[in-house]
Each structure stands twice: as structure tokens, then as C-alpha cells.
Amino acid sequence: MPVKRSTNHRAYLAPELAERLGGEDLLRWAESAEGEVFRTVKRRSTLRVQIGGQPYFLKRHRGVGWLEILKNWLVGKRPVLGAENEYRACRHLAARNLPAPRVAAFATEGGNPARRRSFVLCAELSGYGSLEAVAADWARQPPSPRARRRLIMAVARFVRRLHESGVAHRDLYICHLMLDRQKWAQGEARLAVLDLHRARLQPRLSAYWRKRDLAALLFSTLDLDLPARSRLRFLRIYTGRPLREAYGEDPRFWRAVARRAQALHRKAQRQGLTPGQQA
């Protein structure tokens, strides 16, 4: 249910929270909300909060400042000014049956883009664990070839659907792909995606954005010691074509993906960062 406060204030509130938050100034509520702090980066913070006994993740944006906006413009990047990217991306994916955090509330104020306050509140993806955590488990207990193949094929299908829907994640590391652990224990690889604050939506996703997403995904798996055939299987499933045809049609694209992944890996090693810390 859209909630309109003023010409400079746009908001959304899911019916489940209408009774509890319907009479609130949502931005003021988000500023005062308390919970377990998961992350604080510059003027953006993520908290896990409880509302009516249910867990949610609250992401607050407090304006990036003109310096950050200028830095992005100078290098040809579109600055992320608030929570609207994540709000739009999550709703876009939900409409296409692609699992992502379900939006429960959102609000943004207009006016000065450098000082714009906004937030998005999403229901927790209960029962899911990140593929980064799954890969860490593999170091202690390697998966069977069949299980590994099942998961890689599921990731390839999921990323293909993500891109076909017109969404570029822009931080597509395995720490942002989530696996339903209960379904996985039953032999089914069911995935979801989160942390969509930088997501970009296009009617038809360009090769440039697909390359960057695929390079980020490859980079985040380089230390997993996956066999070459696993990466080739991903390519075949992602493109939906026989391997020779998939690679032969645009070898420059796939070489560019590999070069960017290696460059990201070298940068991470120099800085001592993990993919999640780079996001």
C-alpha cells in the first residue's frame, strides 16, 4: 500500500505492518529504530530488528554528500543516493518470482540529493545461508561431485534469470547468493539474492553489466579450487547453448570476464579484503 506523506516524501508500507506503523512518520520511525547492527558503511547502516516478533532487516541511508556524488560522476558512475534502488529491485524480482528479500516498508524524502534520507525494511530470508558459508563448509567436508554439480547448475540458472529479468546486481559475489538450507538437505538447490542497494534495472541488460556481474561472481569463487569443468558447466547453463557455440559466439566477452575477475582478485589480495568487504 503506497503511503504519500507530502510531495517530497514517498513511502510504501506492506499490509502486514499497517496496524503497527500506519500512523507513523516512517522516516522518523526508521531513524529511531533499534536492533542488532550488522553493518555500518559511511552513511549507510543495516540493522536486524524485530516487529511483532518477526525479524526484519532495516537499511538506513542518510545522504552520501556532494563529494561522493562528484567522485562518482567524475569516473562515469551513477551514484547510489538512497534505498530506492533496493526497494525497486526487490519488488521487480518479486513480480517475476525470483526470490529476494520481501519489502515490508520503504520511505524516501526528496529535495537535496546529497542529504536525502531513506530506508528500506525487508523481511528476513529465514532458513537461508550464503553460498560463501556453504563454500567454507566445503573446506572441511568436500561435497560429492553430484552435489557440487547441482549447486553450480542452480547458480547458473538463477543468474541467467536475474539478467534476463533486466537486473544487474553490481555486487554479485557468492556472499550475496543465499541457499535454502532445508531444501538443500533434501537435495534441492533453491536460491535467493540479497544486498541489492546498487542494483541497476534495464529493459534489456547490456553486455557491459552482464560482464561485470559475471566477473564479480567468478572472482568470488577463484579461491574455491573448482575444477575447470565446473566453470564450463556454468557457462553452458547460463547461456543455454552447447559449450562450443556459447563460447565461440563471443570469446572476447568471456575473456573480458576472466580478465576482470583476475583484476578484482589481485586488488583484493593487495587490500586484504574479502568480496563481502568490497561490496
The neighbour count for residue 32, using CB atoms within 10 Å, is 8
So where are the chain's domains? 2-123, 128-278
Lowest-confidence range among 62-71, 129-138, 145-154, 237-246?
A: 62-71
Residues near 263 by beta carbon (within 8 Å), at least 6 away in sequence: none
Mean pLDDT of 142-167: 95
Residue pair 135/239 in contact (Cβ under 8 Å)? The answer is no
Q: Calculate Rg over the CA atoms of the chain.
A: 20
Catalytic residue numbers, as ranges: 171
For residue 32, give the C-alpha cell.
529511531
What is the predicted pLDDT for the residue at 42?
Answer: 77
Higher pLDDT, 249 or 258: 258
Q: How many residues does the chain have?
A: 279
Q: What sections of 5-65 are H helices per DSSP?
A: 18-21, 26-32
| Phi then psi dihedrals of residue 64, to 5 deg | -95, -15
Residue 246 one-letter amino acid: A
Please state, in angstroms and rounded to a whole number, the distance separating the CA atoms of residues 163 and 172: 11
Which letter does DSSP use for residue 14 in this model? -
E strands in 146-201: 167-168, 177-180, 191-193, 200-201
pLDDT single digits (tens) 76-97: 667 677 899 999 999 999 999 9
- The CA–CA distances, whole Å, from 147 to 122, 129, 134, 153 equal 31, 16, 12, 10
The answer for residues whose C-beta is within 8 angstroms of residue 264's C-beta and 6 or more apart is: 215, 216, 219, 278
Q: Are strands 200-201 and 167-168 parallel, antiparallel or unpaired?
A: antiparallel
pLDDT digits over 33-75, tens only? 999 999 888 778 999 999 999 999 999 998 766 666 577 666 6
In degrees, to the nearest 5, what angle opens at C-alpha 173 toward C-alphas 170 and 174? 145
Q: What pTM value is reported for the model?
A: 0.90
Q: Which amino acid is at 146?
A: R
CATH for 128-278 is 1.10.510.10
